[in-house]
């Protein structure tokens, strides 16, 4: 098919790089906005980023499953040494169902497949964290929590040779936060398992964590988890606040994040979890790329390639991570940074941009800011001096007038005295506190009985708090009540505060296990009822309930089951139903009999999940 300089447009596109090192070609995939359900894949040569050449490689129609209004993700298998058969993995996301397919270099599109009852929600939390040959390991956020972990995170093992061997692990022992903002996967491709990498998860609170990941081969009977999240560390955010528009992309072990700056341009952050846990701003020089909400990104060699649609026109741009420069059409001039803005350290130098700005280096604006600053400073300083002189002058005049004025003696009337009081004594009525407009309750400051809280307090803590409670309650009672009221309350409520304590008498703030308190049974104006429990009867102490449930197997070995009349590696017809990853019997060899027309596959029906309903196809 002939190449064209016209770049196709998609509402929810995805791009992926070729696994061949030094290649100038990338994949562009999406579902047509014109023909419903038509999956299209283009090979785009970006040797000249200004005028890229696109060639349609695959077109597959399946209106039952492929939709243009949901996000997509594309990825390749860089650990696969056979470039002629290496597949492009096409993933479609959704709130209830998520379909995927392998697209071979021969143009064959495998039948759409999915996991029963599970769906991947967003490409921003679908992180590839390892690669071993044609196998990719993914940490994904799902639409439901698993019974074993109570977490929506699962581990996925994708097979680039055939989707027949796709598996999912729901029993990870360690998992990230349940409401992540963004997930970034970095790894080093290998030929065989185990596959090692890192998962960096940023949350909505402005922090992040790094997890060391290891992906295992499912044929190893000693390993229960396909994907294991190990040692963690906290990300040094470096005063960087990511937005909900951030997009992850990786170049091997180094991760990058494209985000929207305050001026509307694209700012680039980087982190290398294997070397440092610090998130940094990449120094950018020259013109910058305007940020777009529908931007798609991938990596090619040492460059980040982006695809975006502006109206009816699509374009490609590239960012060189070594030089920090953008290339392609549609760039805009970098905004000038103020001279007072600090410049945090960034990869490759100390003259990078701000943490929340456009990330561009400052040039030229600093020399122009110095004279203006001197002029403004001089004017402000002069005004301050003038104001100070005026203030001192006015103050001096006021003090002079005050000194010249005649001194007039002040006479005070003698205070009233009660008959028989000593001279100079103030009347007793003047010292009496005003009578309150209402009568305080007799039980205002009485210790409140809280049996539930006090039963859980150790006896040692009760003894430690006893002197403190006596000191707190005694002065408070003397201030709030009249002497007659204190004398009435002392034998009943405050008797335990005396130095000689009667046997079997409860200490303040302590619930005797042999006494039954009912603080709500007494009528107004009377003390609560205290009942003695029978001798030898233990108090009824609350025991927490322990939930008991059965744990499903930590690993589900599942596989594709192709629709009747289709075989692996063939394009399904318009009316075929989707195949599903299904549970294989323990100990069976994957792929031996599954999908064979002569033998029905063993279908695993997952347990019912409360609150989840599978929509009809």
Q: How confident is the model at residue 468 (pLDDT cuts 50, 70, 90)?
A: very low
What is the rounded distance in angstroms from the CA atom of residue 241 to the CA atom of residue 561?
44
| pLDDT tier for residue 221 given thresholds of 50, 70 and 90 | low
Collapse the DSSP code of 266 into the 3-class scheme (helix H, G, I; strand E, B; otherwise coil) and give the result: strand
Phi, psi of 488 (to 5 degrees): -75, -35
The predicted structure's pLDDT at residue 368: 39
Tens of pLDDT, residues 348-364: 333 333 333 333 333 33
Higher pLDDT, 605 or 11: 11
Query: 179 pLDDT exceeds 70?
Result: yes
Q: What is the Cα–Cα distance from 60 to 148, expressed in whole angstroms?
A: 39
Per-residue pLDDT band for 248 (boundaries 50, 70, 90) equals: very high
Distance between CA 246 and CA 206 in Å, rounded?
Answer: 13
The DSSP element (H or E) to which 379 belongs, if any, is: helix 365-404
CA distance 204 to 222: 37
Distances (CA, A) of 564 to 258, 561, 581: 44, 9, 15
Residue range 383-408: mean pLDDT, rounded? 71
φ and ψ at 576, to 5 degrees? Answer: -75, 150
> How high is the pLDDT of residue 126?
98
Categorize the per-residue pLDDT at 275 as very low, low, confident or very high, splitting at 50, 70 and 90.
very high
Per-residue pLDDT at 400: 61
**Every domain of the chain and the residues it spans:** 75-235+551-609, 243-361
pLDDT at 514 over 70: no
Q: What is the pLDDT of residue 224?
A: 67
49 compared with 352, residue with greater pLDDT: 49
Element (H, E) at 182: strand 180-187
pLDDT digits 0-9 by tens, 7-35:
999 999 999 999 888 899 999 999 999 99
CB 271 within 8 A of CB 255: yes
Structure tokens at 465: 């708090």
**Which range has the top average pLDDT, 180-189, 358-367, 590-599?**
180-189
Check if the beta carbon of residue 454 is closer than 8 Å to that of residue 509. Answer: yes
pTM confidence score: 0.59
Among 57-71, 239-253, 349-363, 565-579, name the one with the lowest average pLDDT.
349-363
With beta carbons less than 8 A apart as the criterion, state whether 203 and 139 touch: no
Q: What is the average per-residue pLDDT within 576-604?
A: 38
Do the bridges between strand 280-281 and strand 126-132 make them parallel or antiparallel, or are there none, so unpaired? unpaired
Taking residue 240's Cβ as centre, other Cβ atoms within 10 Å add up to 22
Average pLDDT over residues 75-88: 82
Contact 151, 172 (CB under 8 A): yes
Q: What is the pLDDT of residue 374?
A: 65
- Give the model's pLDDT for residue 412: 45
**Bond from prior residue into 539 cis (ω within 30 degrees of 0):** no
Query: Mean pLDDT in the chain?
Result: 70
Q: What is the pLDDT of residue 103?
A: 93
Q: 365 pLDDT exceeds 60?
A: no
CA 166 to CA 181: how far, in whole Å?
27
Tell me, what's the pLDDT at 211? 97
SS3 495: helix
Question: Would the pLDDT of 432 be above 70?
Answer: no
pLDDT at 338: 42
Tell me the average pLDDT across 50-63: 94
Quick one: pLDDT at residue 241?
96
Helices and strands in the chain: count of H runs, count of E runs: 5, 29
**pLDDT band at residue 533, thresholds of 50, 70 and 90?**
very low
Question: Cβ distance 267 to 260 under 8 Å?
Answer: yes
- Distance, in Å, from the CA atom of 55 to the CA atom of 3, rounded to the nearest integer, reads 5
């Amino acid at each position: 098919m002939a190449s064209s300089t016209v770049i196709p447009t998609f509402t929810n596109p995805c791009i992926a790089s070729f696994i061949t090192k030094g290649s100038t070609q990338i994949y562009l995939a999406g579902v047509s906005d014109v023909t419903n359900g038509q999956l299209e894949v283009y090979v785009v040569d970006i040797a000249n980023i200004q005028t890229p050449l696109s060639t349609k490689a695959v077109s597959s129609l399946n209106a039952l499953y492929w939709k243009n209004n949901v996000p997509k993700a594309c990825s390749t298998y860089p650990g696969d040494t056979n470039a002629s058969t290496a597949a492009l993995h096409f993933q479609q996301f959704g709130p209830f169902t998520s379909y995927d397919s392998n697209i071979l270099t021969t143009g064959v599109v495998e039948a759409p497949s999915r996991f029963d009852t599970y769906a991947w929600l967003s490409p921003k939390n679908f992180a590839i964290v390892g690669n071993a040959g044609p196998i990719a390991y993914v940490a994904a956020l799902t639409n439901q929590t698993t019974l074993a972990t109570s977490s929506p995170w699962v581990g996925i093992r994708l097979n680039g040779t055939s989707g027949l061997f796709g598996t999912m692990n729901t029993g990870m022992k360690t998992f990230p936060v349940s409401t992540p903002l963004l997930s970034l996967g970095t790894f080093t491709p290998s030929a065989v398992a185990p596959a090692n990498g890192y998962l960096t998860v940023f949350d909505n609170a402005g922090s992040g964590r790094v997890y060391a990941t290891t992906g295992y081969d499912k044929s190893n009977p000693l390993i229960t988890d396909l994907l294991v999240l190990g040692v963690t560390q906290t990300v040094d955010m470096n005063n960087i606040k990511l937005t909900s528009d951030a997009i992850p992309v990786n170049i091997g072990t180094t991760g990058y994040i494209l985000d929207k700056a305050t001026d509307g341009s694209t700012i680039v952050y980087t982190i290398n979890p294997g070397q440092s846990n610090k998130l940094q701003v990449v120094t950018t020089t020259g013109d910058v790329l305007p940020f777009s909400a529908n931007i798609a990104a991938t990596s090619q060699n040492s460059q980040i390639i982006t695809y975006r649609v502006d109206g009816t026109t699509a374009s490609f741009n590239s960012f060189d991570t070594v030089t920090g420069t953008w290339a392609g059409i549609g760039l805009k001039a970098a905004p000038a940074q103020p001279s007072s803005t600090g410049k945090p350290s960034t990869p490759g130098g100390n003259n990078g941009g701000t943490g929340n700005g456009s990330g561009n280096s400052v040039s030229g604006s600093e020399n122009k800011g110095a004279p203006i600053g001197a002029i403004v400073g001089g004017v402000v300083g002069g005004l301050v001096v003038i104001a100070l002189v005026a203030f001192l002058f006015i103050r001096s005049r006021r003090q002079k007038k005050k000194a010249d004025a005649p001194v007039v003696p002040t006479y005070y009337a003698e205070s009233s005295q009660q008959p028989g009081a000593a001279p100079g004594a103030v009347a007793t009525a003047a010292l009496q506190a005003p009578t309150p407009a209402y009568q305080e309750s007799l039980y205002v400051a009485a210790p409140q009985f809280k049996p539930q809280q006090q039963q859980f307090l150790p006896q040692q803590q009760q003894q430690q708090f006893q002197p403190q409670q006596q000191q707190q309650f005694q002065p408070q009672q003397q201030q709030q009540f009249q002497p007659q009221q204190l004398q009435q309350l002392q034998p009943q409520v405050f008797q335990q505060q005396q130095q000689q304590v009667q046997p079997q008498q409860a200490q303040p703030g302590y619930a005797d296990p042999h006494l039954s308190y009912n603080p709500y049974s007494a009528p107004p104006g009377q003390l609560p009822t205290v009942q003695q429990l029978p001798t030898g009867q233990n108090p009824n102490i609350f025991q927490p309930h322990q939930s008991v449930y059965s744990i499903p197997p930590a690993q589900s070995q599942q596989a594709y089951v192709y629709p009747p009349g289709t075989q692996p590696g063939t394009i399904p017809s318009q009316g075929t139903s989707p195949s599903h990853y299904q549970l294989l019997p323990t100990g069976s060899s994957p792929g031996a009999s599954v999908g064979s027309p002569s033998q029905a596959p063993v279908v695993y029906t997952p347990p019912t999940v409360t609150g989840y309903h599978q929509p009809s196809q």
